[in-house]
Structure 1
């Protein structure tokens, strides 16, 4: 349902039996007590399914492809470990990320290094371990050509892609313009064996399929031209940008049409265009399959056919799409205040552990209210007793519903994990838990901070769900 019976907008998540089993197990209140603060739980089996589905999409289209997990989407070691086990690589953008990936079993040749103006230490490590470097500027290319690593008494070539500035996003601060690409190709030719130019890369903001298909075809053309110059040019990387669907179409469109200032604490206003698109007609591996089946503008063949005919390998760097349904975030309610027709909850963490706010937005999927008493109601059933009478006034409490916004345990007025008034089906109480679903992709740690000396939320890996007792452990992230 897109709205409650009383017309209150909701964003219900799609079914997730594994997460539901963890909520029903009684484990989360125990972990909240043990850690004394917020925490995340991870479901790595979901990562395996998502990665497998992408491999299946590539195979079904007959495309030679390789997936790199975008490590920036989640710092947990377990996802790097699952990438290795699933025959995938890792996309890194710092020396720390590169070392972490190596330490958890990723082979150097299965690393791709992205990001602007890379630190010399990162470039040195990348070249030393045979990683593929997406070159973002001419200066970066010159640095790699001038100082190839000496390994075992011999000079080893540096593996690179040339990152292109998309014509459709000319104001992007990333990538080489057309004239810069021409200069870069000349320098690669002059560099000889010092550089192995393996192809091109791009990253597009947004989630539209057609522009990605168009640019993919253009990069295949660039590969063919680079080969005439004697360069290898047999791979292209299309970055990430595969959308994720958190909710169903009806719920999402109804929410966007109905939400207004009255649905947020303090009359906060959000522009619908700033929200992540929490529903997508095609998502994850289906979006990849759709891309491969799309005909670029002005072409008579699909992306898959263009790649196959040119003998070009497709690289991709998904983050959020690999982490769909791979984890959730748990806060404990520390206090409850009553306002005009709604409650204001304070939880034992901060909005920096729900990082969608960095886009002037917030994380919209409805959290689950879990009872402080394990096994009591698992947050789904209303409290016994008569329904309260609706309160008078323009913001009266809705019969049978208990709207509540969620504030953080800091002194910042704007530190709100959820400005939206969530329509709970029972009254939230101090000690209850709020479980934010499907947060593994970017929400958990992109903006984390130990503000007020609050500890960073630990990550709990659920290795197996057997009966009512999930098997869990702490993640093995080095730092």
Structure 2
């Protein structure tokens, strides 16, 4: 049964030759058959390239910097393996994450431990392994000072985490007055603690506030050094945007989108959408931060160099840009007035934005037995939303009516592009006893993909 075309705006992901090569390789239908359900594929070469781009940005600016992959962005073990192999550090926030980083070969000195109100066990292992601990409160500092583990190779290494004044409603970090108290306690503690600097994390992706707060922490470091503390590094966290879509497509989508473009006339507040186009993203966002000037003529990079301050970064999503995709198999299609409802063999729990009052907007690619489906000028697009295989009416991977080049059929694959950063596993659950989608690592050998299962143990 045909449907009358509903003209909905298209929002394709930016072209990516590595992902396109996988889509055209014929491998995905074989993997779908083998696993009997949805799966994610991962591209470690892309992770390496993204990390190299950040290193290049630091080198161009003449800045001494350290990159730590924010592990919360994706659970796969392959990213930690790449960190160990390439000398990238890791940012962890739990004992499980710390153990996995250590177990995959990342040395403790290259691990930053963040998160609020850390457990005593996490603090103990972090101190024993010489990890750098971002202290979030005076209470946490007191516990470190009074319960330092015996046998540690050195005093606990810490950063003091600042509550950004512009985001005073955050529950993370210490106020300026609390930082002053923490510094006095570090001085009193002498060799019992090693205060190496300060850290912060800002919500959002704006460049100037991040550079300004970093400059403030450099001033804090200089003052702390006069107190006899090491204070030679600052961490500015993550917040490096990813550019998913072309600007023309993104702005046209925002201007055109309306309730009628979504199943059941669902409405979204566009302020809740991730900025799927960002004019400055990834390593270029770092360049922008480093070249931002403050009150005077000096850039942040100038100040870091002139003061001998090391810059620590904790990118997550930005290191995973174009490093993976999610694959679902079509189980059925319903025709409705003006559009269709496609049901796939997975759930929206494996595509996180739907559970944050938002939508993952880069649209899936339809892959059939003969490869990627292409449009036919003589045939109109087939608009359809995409639902999951559960009994929940709100379980939609995509509420938006995607303009597919043809009507999907059972057995076709929908490949959601660029989902490695926070999308594919942060909210996954074996609801309905459905297994979690496996992660497949695709290595490039002689120009063709070779696959292996990621070694992260199933929960």
TM-score scaled by structure 1? 0.93
**1:179 partnered with 2:198:** no
**Partner residue in 2 for 1:314:** 311
Q: Mapping of 1:124-203 within 5 angstroms?
A: 124-151=124-151, 156-203=154-201
**Partner residue in 2 for 1:463:** 443
Q: Mapping of 1:62-141 within 5 angstroms?
A: 62-141=62-141
CA contact (8 A) 1:333 1:433 kept: yes
Question: Using the alignment, how far apart are the partners of 1:10 and 1:378 within structure 2?
Answer: 16
Question: Using the alignment, how far apart are the partners of 2:395 and 2:24 within structure 1?
Answer: 30
Q: Mapping of 1:251-290 within 5 angstroms?
A: 251-290=249-288
* Shift in alpha-carbon separation, 1:58–1:51, aligned structure 2, 3 A: same
- Cα deviation for residue 184 of structure 1 reads 0.5
**Partner residue in 2 for 1:476:** 455
- SS of corresponding position for 2:406: coil
Q: Mapping of 1:13-412 within 5 angstroms?
A: 13-151=13-151, 156-296=154-294, 298-371=295-368, 373=369, 376-382=370-376, 387=379, 400-412=380-392
CA contact (8 A) 2:438 2:453 kept: yes
CA-to-partner distance for each residue in 1:5-64, whole Å, 9 max, x for gaps?
Answer: 985311111111111011101110111111011000001111111100100000000000
CA contact (8 A) 2:6 2:383 kept: no
Corresponding residue to 2:401 among 421, 426, 435: 421
**1:449 partnered with 2:446:** no
Question: Using the alignment, how far apart are the partners of 2:388 and 2:29 within structure 1?
Answer: 19
CA contact (8 A) 1:75 1:445 kept: yes
Question: Using the alignment, how far apart are the partners of 1:304 and 1:406 within structure 2?
Answer: 46
- Cα deviation for residue 198 of structure 1 reads 0.3
TM-score scaled by structure 2? 0.97
CA-to-partner distance for each residue in 1:86-138, whole Å, 9 max, x for gaps?
Answer: 22100000000000001111000000000111111111110110000000011
CA contact (8 A) 2:24 2:371 kept: no
CA contact (8 A) 2:349 2:355 kept: no
Question: Using the alignment, how far apart are the partners of 2:82 and 2:153 within structure 1?
Answer: 33
- Cα deviation for residue 316 of structure 1 reads 0.4
**Partner residue in 2 for 1:440:** 420
Question: Using the alignment, how far apart are the partners of 1:440 and 1:147 within structure 2?
Answer: 38
Deviation beyond 3 Å, 4+ runs, structure 1: none
Question: Using the alignment, how far apart are the partners of 2:412 and 2:329 within structure 1?
Answer: 6
CA contact (8 A) 2:375 2:381 kept: no
CA-to-partner distance for each residue in 1:185-210, whole Å, 9 max, x for gaps?
Answer: 11111111111000000000000000
Question: Using the alignment, how far apart are the partners of 1:236 and 1:377 within structure 2?
Answer: 48
CA contact (8 A) 1:100 1:478 kept: no
Question: Using the alignment, how far apart are the partners of 1:379 and 1:220 within structure 2?
Answer: 53
Question: Using the alignment, how far apart are the partners of 1:286 and 1:145 within structure 2?
Answer: 40
CA contact (8 A) 1:42 1:459 kept: yes
**Backbone CA RMSD of aligned residues:** 1.4
Question: Using the alignment, how far apart are the partners of 2:341 and 2:33 within structure 1?
Answer: 22
Structure 1 segments unaligned to the other structure (5+ residues): 388-399
- Cα deviation for residue 478 of structure 1 reads 3.5
Question: Using the alignment, how far apart are the partners of 1:377 and 1:43 within structure 2?
Answer: 20
Structure 2 segments unaligned to the other structure (5+ residues): none
CA-to-partner distance for each residue in 1:359-405, whole Å, 9 max, x for gaps?
Answer: 3101100100011x2xx2422355x9x63xxxxxxxxxxxx110010
* Shift in alpha-carbon separation, 1:155–1:104, aligned structure 2, 3 A: closer
Question: Using the alignment, how far apart are the partners of 1:292 and 1:106 within structure 2?
Answer: 27
- SS of corresponding position for 2:319: coil
